[in-house]
């Protein structure tokens, strides 16, 4: 692809951008992806530092079960993305004791009953959560045109959904806490558990999260969970290969600095002075950033969405390489509760993920890589001035001491490399404005119809990613890419592609 003109420009190569780009290239369209960083994948990628490969952000991976977004993507691209199933999905250390998140639902309900008591309440709570979450996955696959933008899209909504499922919509008006109360499981210990599990999925605690979404977040470990050997970048690379095999192109180190709308084309300028044009544009750049990139004709619309999501979280992340002193068959993901707020964060827990033993693409034999993350107030980190380095060090030291104390097998003395990143790092690195990551926190106040739609009011301009419906986490942004693909085909290329049966 030599000319700077293509049929479609995709801005950003997160999983949202890569999914839509590869699907469109498969239709024979001329697709070019512009990525600002030197590697693709954004928040779900892997980077090299001091001899090791660390994950950028995401570490847990679901979405490959029947009808879920990554399963659909694989079917539509006729490929298999690299991955290995892991089990159990996760371990939680709460009040100093282990709680294992088994995939098997009966085993998990027994484990939750053992830990929290009230077996009858636990059973009812989880049975409802499984039922609601199944429905959410099923209907998210069926409702490509959501939020609906036209009469026709409303009619699709009516046609695609079973009226018998309508009563389930009441769970959109009940918070997770409401449902916990209904089944008598709202104890301080269970609330702590639910809040921290929801923070890593719904980005909001139980009283802010509608059960309709929270059910899917809480049951995340009860679906098939995967590890990608070599890191998540390998999954992104295999989508890139599909894209390139179908004639598409991914260009890295192409930071977009402006987007203008001309009568027939979008004109995109990059930091290295290049100009790219295409009649159809898909942005994987968060809406907060878009408001600063687009020309005057589009600014008000993006500003209104940027203002709508005033609040989002940042992350304090650490990469640590250690001698492998962990037990055999050690679970790869751990949520460790602290009995205090972790210094300079807003969180009482840490999420720790290990590279698989023997994954020598990420660490030499006998060593492991750890990714650690926790939620922070991003704007606070930007306000620090001279105190910034000292605060960062303070949090790093706390985390290493905490791991030494709480993570089985972790030995502070066996740390080979350790470094950290704050929202300031995230903004410099993959340009996320104010270092806001992880998507839009769930809220009882926001209707599902209020989410940023995949289609903008600007002709042939679409959006994907974790600030667009239903984008949260890798499955969410992949689904946003799949949904955008159907819209682009229908509205920009007048071809209604048949959705795969979910
Ligand atoms: C610490 C952390 C842990 C997480 N853990 C999990 C997890 O375990 N499981 C899970 O499923 N999800 C997790 N998430 C969430 C998940 O990673 C993200 O929601 C998802 O990957 C976002 O994908 P995206 O396509 O929206 O955007 P991104 O991945 O943010 O990609 C956007 C891309 O656009 C590029 N870009 C931005 N601006 C420009 C520009 N001006 N010009 C060119 N390119 C630009 C960026 O460089 C980036 O590559 C985590 C997130 C974080 C931060």
Would you state the structure tokens that stand for residue 428, as one six-digit string? 């410099």
CA of 444 to the centre of ligand 1 (A): 24
- Enumerate long-range contacts of 52-55, CB under 8 Å, 24 or more apart: 52/319, 52/321, 52/362, 52/363, 52/367, 52/369, 52/417, 53/230, 53/231, 53/233, 53/355, 53/361, 53/362, 53/363, 53/369, 54/231, 54/319, 54/362, 54/369, 54/371, 55/231, 55/232, 55/353, 55/371
Q: Report whether pLDDT(501) > 60.
A: no
pLDDT score at 157: 84
Mean pLDDT, to the nearest integer, of 46-74?
97
Mean pLDDT, to the nearest integer, of 122-147?
93
Q: Report whether pLDDT(486) > 80.
A: yes
Backbone phi, then psi, for 257, in 5-degree steps? -110, -20
pLDDT score at 1: 63
Q: Report whether pLDDT(293) > 50.
A: yes
Q: What atom in ligand 1 is closest to the CA of residue 293?
A: 41
Q: What is the pTM of this model?
A: 0.96
Pocket test for ligand 1, best of 22, 40, 43 (most atoms within 8 A of CB): 43
At residue 439 the predicted structure's pLDDT band, cuts being 50, 70 and 90, is confident
CATH 3.50.50.60 fits 8-82+228-310+441-492, yes or no: yes
Please write the tens of the pLDDT for every residue from 333-380: 999 999 899 999 999 999 999 999 999 999 999 999 999 999 999 999
Pocket test for ligand 1, best of 10, 11, 14 (most atoms within 8 A of CB): 14
Mean pLDDT, to the nearest integer, of 183-187?
97
Q: Is the CB of 256 inside a 6 Å radius of any atom of ligand 1?
A: yes
For ligand 1, atom 35, the nearest C-alpha belongs to 12
Q: Report whether pLDDT(283) > 70.
A: yes
What DSSP line would sit under 140-183, residue for residue? HHH--S-S--SHHHHHHHHHHS-GGGGGGGGGGTSBHHHHHHHT
Q: Report whether pLDDT(161) > 90.
A: no
Q: How far apart are CA 332 and CA 334, in angstroms?
A: 7
Name the residue with tokens 């921290």.
Answer: 196
Backbone phi, then psi, for 190, in 5-degree steps? -70, -35
Please write the tens of the pLDDT for every residue from 204-253: 999 999 999 999 999 999 999 999 999 999 999 999 999 999 999 999 99
CA of 165 to the centre of ligand 1 (A): 33
Q: Report whether pLDDT(500) > 70.
A: no
What is the bridge-based pairing of β-strands 415-421 and 314-323?
antiparallel
Mean pLDDT, to the nearest integer, of 313-337?
97
CA of 88 to the centre of ligand 1 (A): 25
CA of 14 to the centre of ligand 1 (A): 6
Q: Is the CB of 194 inside a 6 Å radius of any atom of ligand 1?
A: no
Give the mean pLDDT of the chain.
95
Q: Report whether pLDDT(317) > 60.
A: yes
Domains in the chain: boundaries: 8-82+228-310+441-492, 104-134+159-222, 314-435
pLDDT score at 228: 98
């Amino acid at each position: 692809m030599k000319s700077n003109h293509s049929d479609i420009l995709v801005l950003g190569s997160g999983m949202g951008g890569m999914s839509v780009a590869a699907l469109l290239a498969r239709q024979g369209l001329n697709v070019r992806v512009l990525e600002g960083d030197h590697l693709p994948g954004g928040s779900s990628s892997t980077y090299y530092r001091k001899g090791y490969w660390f994950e950028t952000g995401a570490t847990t991976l679901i979405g490959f079960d029947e009808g879920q977004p990554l399963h659909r993507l694989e079917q539509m691209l006729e490929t298999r993305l690299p991955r290995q199933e892991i089990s159990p999905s996760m371990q939680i250390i709460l009040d100093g004791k282990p709680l294992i998140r088994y995939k098997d639902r009966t085993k998990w309900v027994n484990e939750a009953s053992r830990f929290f008591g009230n077996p009858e309440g636990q059973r009812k709570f989880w049975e409802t959560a499984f039922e609601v979450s199944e429905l959410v996955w099923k209907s998210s696959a069926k409702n490509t045109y959501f939020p609906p933008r036209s009469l026709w899209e409303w009619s699709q909504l009516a046609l695609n959904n079973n009226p018998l499922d309508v009563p389930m919509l009441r769970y959109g008006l009940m918070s997770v806490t409401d449902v916990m109360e209904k089944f008598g499981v709202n104890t301080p210990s269970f609330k702590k558990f639910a809040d921290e599990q929801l923070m890593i999925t719904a980005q909001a605690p139980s009283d802010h999260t509608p059960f309709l979404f929270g059910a899917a977040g809480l049951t995340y470990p009860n679906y098939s969970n995967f590890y990608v050997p070599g890191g998540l970048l390998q999954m992104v690379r295999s989508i890139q290969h599909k894209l390139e095999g179908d004639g598409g192109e991914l260009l890295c180190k192409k930071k977009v600095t402006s987007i203008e709308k001309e009568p027939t084309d979008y004109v995109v300028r990059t930091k290295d002075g290049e100009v790219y044009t295409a009649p159809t544009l898909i942005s994987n750049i968060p809406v907060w950033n878009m408001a600063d990139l687009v020309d005057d004709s589009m600014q008000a619309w993006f500003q209104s969405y940027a203002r709508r999501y005033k609040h989002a979280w940042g992350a304090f992340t650490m990469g640590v390489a250690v001698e492998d002193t962990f037990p055999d068959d050690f679970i790869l993901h751990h949520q460790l509760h602290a009995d205090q707020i972790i210094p300079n964060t807003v969180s009482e827990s840490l999420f720790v993920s290990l590279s698989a033993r023997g994954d020598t693409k990420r660490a030499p034999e006998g060593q492991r890589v750890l990714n650690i993350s926790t939620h922070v107030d991003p704007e606070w980190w930007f306000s620090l001035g001279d105190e910034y380095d000292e605060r960062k060090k303070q949090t790093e030291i706390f985390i290493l001491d905490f791991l030494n104390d709480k993570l089985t097998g972790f030995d502070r003395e066996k740390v080979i490399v350790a470094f950290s990143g704050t929202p300031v790092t995230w903004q410099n690195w993959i340009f996320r404005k104010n270092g806001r990551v992880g998507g839009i926190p769930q809220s009882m106040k926001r209707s599902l119809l209020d989410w940023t739609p995949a289609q903008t009011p600007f002709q042939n301009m679409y959006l994907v990613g974790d600030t667009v419906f239903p984008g949260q986490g890798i499955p969410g942004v992949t689904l946003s890419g799949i949904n955008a693909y159907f819209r682009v085909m229908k509205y920009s290329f007048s071809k209604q592609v048949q959705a795969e049966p979910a």
